[in-house]
Amino acid sequence: MTALSRIGLLAKTGDPRAREVLARVAAALNGRGATVALEANTAADCGLTYPAFALDALAERCDLLFVVGGDGTLLAAARAAAVRGLPIAGLNAGRLGFLTDVTPDALDAGLAALLEGRGRAELRTLIAAELSRADGDRIAAGLALNDAVVQKRAAGRMIELTTRVDGRFVCTHRADGIVVATPTGSTAYALSCGGPIIHPKVDALAIVPICPHTLSDRPIVVDGGSKIVVSLAPGFAGNAQLTLDGQIGIEIVPGDSVAMWRADQRLTLLHPPGHDYFEVLRDKLHWGRGGAPER
């Protein structure tokens, strides 16, 4: 990658640790001659005196969007970055942090590598989702980096859904919902529902039932070029919703259908040199206790 000099900063608001780390990041970037600008809500929360812009405007002005927080904070910025082809990187000031992989103790080295163009760029798949009424009217559409989820809203009730892949009927599900996940999202909600971990380089999508009534209703992995349609049974009398990355919620009524497919846009995720996906899995999921075996 080429060297980067215009850096947009976005941080988790209301978090004292994120504010403290953000100040360190901004100072380190300044010290290396980078131009720094802040996302507007971040600026209001942290009190730093840098130019501030709404997220979309900030994304237009940057060479790199750098996120301080956890994966949820990065997800909020990822959609704006992806539609503009803007690379994004993150420092983990949250909890799990599969996506925000610059660590506070390696801040200076990580920032130097990114600014000098030595970061490792990785393209990540996004899902495009479109909600339509039974009469064919298109109600809403959006993008997700992790997952699109059709799920119940009322506690203690299941919903009835049908799934189709490329027009072919797959199954009728009685469950709490369905997760359609990218490889990036395979370590998020889908994983907690018993779904598989999919390496980011695999061109695939996972369809994962949430708490299905039939225990043999298992997750399935389909080709990344598939079109998946999830429909809410017309006779269902309760409330349901479509959520994108757990952050955008849209009400669904009986007879609605949600079409999902691999988006044309992809996210460029920047990692520090030496990034190893399997090491991330071992660390975050606490696999084993021993080191790597000798070759």
**pLDDT digit string, tens, across residues 274-288:** 899 999 999 889 898
Give the Cα-Cα-Cα angle 146, 150, 154 (nearest 5 degrees): 125
Are 119 and 109 in contact by the 8 Å Cβ rule? The answer is no
pLDDT of residue 235: 77
Tokens of 233: 């049974």
Beta strands in the chain (DSSP E): 6-11, 35-39, 52-53, 64-69, 88-92, 120-132, 138-144, 147-152, 159-165, 168-175, 177-181, 204-210, 220-223, 227-232, 240-244, 248-252, 257-271
Are 76 and 145 in contact by the 8 Å Cβ rule? The answer is no
What are φ and ψ of residue 72, in 5° steps?
Answer: -60, -40
| Predicted confidence (pLDDT) at residue 289 exceeds the cutoff of 80 | no
Which of 15, 63, 71, 176 does the annotation list as catalytic?
71
Task: Give the Å distances, CA to CA, from 25 to 1, 44, 105, 227.
Answer: 21, 17, 12, 41
Element counts in the chain: helices (H) and strands (E):
7, 17
Cross-strand bridge partners of residue 242: 150, 250
| Predicted confidence (pLDDT) at residue 95 exceeds the cutoff of 90 | no
Tokens of 257: 């259908």
Tokens of 270: 């920047």
The Cα–Cα gap between 194 and 197 comes to 9
Kindly state the average pLDDT of the residues 164-182.
96
Of the pLDDT bands very low, low, confident and very high (cuts 50, 70, 90), residue 295 is low
Burial class of residue 208 (count of CB atoms within 10 Å of its CB; 0-12, 13-18, 19+): buried
How does pLDDT run across 32-80, given as a tens digit for each residue? 999 999 999 999 999 999 999 999 999 999 999 999 988 888 998 999 9
Active site residue 108: no
Tokens of 136: 């064919």
The Cα–Cα gap between 193 and 145 comes to 18
**Sheet architecture: strand order including 204-210:** 220-223, 204-210, 177-181, 147-152, 240-244, 248-252
Rg from Cα positions in the chain: 20
Identify which has the larger pLDDT, 154 or 110: 110
Mean pLDDT taken over the chain: 91
Identify which has the larger pLDDT, 142 or 140: 142
Are 22 and 42 in contact by the 8 Å Cβ rule? The answer is yes
